[in-house]
Amino acid sequence: MSIDLARINTELGRNAEGLVDWAIGLGQPTIVTTNFRPFEAVILHMVTRAKPDVPVVWMDNGYNTEATYRFADEVTKQLGLDLHIYLPRRSRAHREAVEGPTPALDDPRHAAFTEEVKLEPFARALRETAPKVWFTALRATDTAVRAQMDPVSVNPDGLIKVAPLLHWSSKDLYAYCEAHGLPNNFDYVDPTKGEDNRECGLHLAH
Ligand SMILES: Nc1ncnc2c1ncn2[C@@H]1O[C@H](COP(=O)(O)OS(=O)(=O)O)[C@@H](OP(=O)(O)O)[C@H]1O
């Protein structure tokens, strides 16, 4: 499929709902990924509004806060999500019994940890769901890499990546949650990131 990226990004790059409708209108196999971080209900609401049965992919690394697990259940129920949960091949208990607690960022074992709890499960999710369109809630303010992104891009495998909320602020996201009666959760941690504004590799690899 040939897409005029420059035109789409110019015409719809700042129109989140318009971009979602355009991407769904392509009629291709589509997924949305979520980690249930703050404001995730926005992308999930916006995409399921256009395509209620879209597969929602979550790699549950096993290290989420109790609040995040409760938030995941609440949003899934409220929006009737078709949630596909991908777990690492080893449980957290198994890993910690033989390797100890989460390795720090400067620990040489940290890369293998990220591969095990996030990247391998995502590669498996991509193989099993075989999408042509991938929605995320990436935001330009997340990292320097994302600040340079376009809302629509095509990766080397031909996967169309759509980030409708790229240019949204927290204030915009908050207002959307209020307008649509959506829950939120700020008690979120990602064990593959020691700090904010770090890329863990998922979006660099895909
Ligand atoms: N665990 C897990 N499960 C499913 N999807 C995930 C996961 N981690 C990252 N992502 C997807 O990547 C988007 C950016 O998340 P992060 O900045 O937290 O992480 S990452 O550095 O990209 O891995 C993230 O953005 P959101 O759409 O805001 O959730 C997801 O689309």
* Ligand 1 within 6 A of CB of 190: yes
The whole-number pLDDT of residue 113 equals 97
Answer whether residue 116 shows pLDDT above 90. Answer: yes
Q: What is the mean pLDDT of residues 118-146?
A: 96
Report which of residues 201 and 47 the model is more confident about: 47
* Ligand 1 within 6 A of CB of 43: yes
The whole-number pLDDT of residue 2 equals 82
Residue 163 CB burial class (10 angstroms; 0-12, 13-18, ≥19)? buried
Count CB-CB contacts under 10 A for residue 69. Answer: 13
Q: What is the pTM for the complete model shown?
A: 0.93
Q: What is the mean pLDDT of residues 144-169?
A: 95
Q: What is the mean pLDDT of residues 113-125?
A: 98
* Ligand 1 within 6 A of CB of 116: no
> What sign results for the dihedral spanned by CA atoms 198, 200, 202, 206?
positive
ipTM for the complex shown: 0.88
Answer whether residue 196 shows pLDDT above 90. Answer: no
The whole-number pLDDT of residue 55 equals 98
Q: What is the mean pLDDT of residues 163-182?
A: 97
The whole-number pLDDT of residue 109 equals 95
Name the average pLDDT for the chain: 94
Cα of 62 to ligand 1 centre, how many Å? Answer: 15
* Alpha helix stretches (DSSP H) within 82-169: 92-99, 110-114, 120-129, 144-147
200 is catalytic: yes
Q: Which of 112, 200, 202, 206 is catalytic?
A: 200
Report which of residues 80 and 205 the model is more confident about: 80
User: Using 50, 70 and 90 to split pLDDT, how confident is the model at 202?
Assistant: confident
Report the nearest atom of ligand 1 relative to the CA of 125: 4
The whole-number pLDDT of residue 184 equals 96
Cα of 33 to ligand 1 centre, how many Å? Answer: 7
HSE (side-chain half, CA atoms, 13 Å) at 20: 22
User: Does an H or E element contain 107, and which?
Assistant: none
- For strands 30-33 and 55-59, give the pairing: parallel
The whole-number pLDDT of residue 169 equals 95
The whole-number pLDDT of residue 12 equals 97
Residue to substitute in 170, 202, 206 for testing ligand 1 pocket (most ligand atoms within 8 angstroms of CB): 202
